[in-house]
Amino acid sequence: MAWLTRFLTVVAFLAIGVVFSPETFGSKSDGQHSQLLLSSLKLAHLLCFSTAWGAALWVTFIGGIIMFKNLPRHQFGNLQSKMFPAYFSMVGVCCAVAVGSFGYLHPWKTSGSTEKYQLGFLLAAFAFNLSNLVIFTPMTIEVSVVSLIVSMISVKW
């Protein structure tokens, strides 16, 4: 999983670079883009944003509730410890691509306040997702494992 975290970090820095310096990556503030590039970026933004949104809805409201109600506690915790890192990695890559494509299509210098708010919300979602992946998920998994060990020891006594 370490290579995936490093890859996600590289993609994050690339997305942030595209947002704050789109001219470096070929975006022109005067609006001169090729149609293929524009279509590709819009498609990438749409697919990545909708994938992240759909995954969040599924994991939160459908899959998580069904698993919680139907699996024993230790199996549910084990499944979540394997599923959450993959989930947050996928959503992180999707958010990075969405931020990068949106930042390329709407350079900061020429964007209106609406686009700046949208970009700010995308960046906030990306930052919160990365904090979940890097900070909170490992802590949660560790506490879950310790709790499982304590409950197994208490059952044996």
Q: So where are the chain's domains?
A: 40-156
**What pTM value is reported for the model?**
0.78
Distance separating alpha carbons of residues 64 and 62, to the nearest angstrom: 6
Structure tokens at 106: 């709407």
Q: How far from the centroid of its chain's Cα atoms is residue 2's Cα?
A: 16
The confidence band for 29, taking pLDDT boundaries of 50, 70 and 90, is low
With a CB cutoff of 8 Å and minimum separation 6, the contacts of 134 are 5
Distance separating alpha carbons of residues 88 and 134, to the nearest angstrom: 9
Mean per-residue pLDDT for 97-101?
91
Q: Is the pLDDT of residue 30 over 80?
A: no
Distance separating alpha carbons of residues 143 and 127, to the nearest angstrom: 23
Mean per-residue pLDDT for 125-145?
92
Q: DSSP for 23-72, please give it.
A: GGGT--TT----HHHHHHHHHHHHHHHHHHHHHHHIIIIIIHHHHHHHS-
Query: What radius of gyration do the chain's Cα atoms show?
Result: 20
- Provide the pLDDT for residue 67: 94
The confidence band for 31, taking pLDDT boundaries of 50, 70 and 90, is low
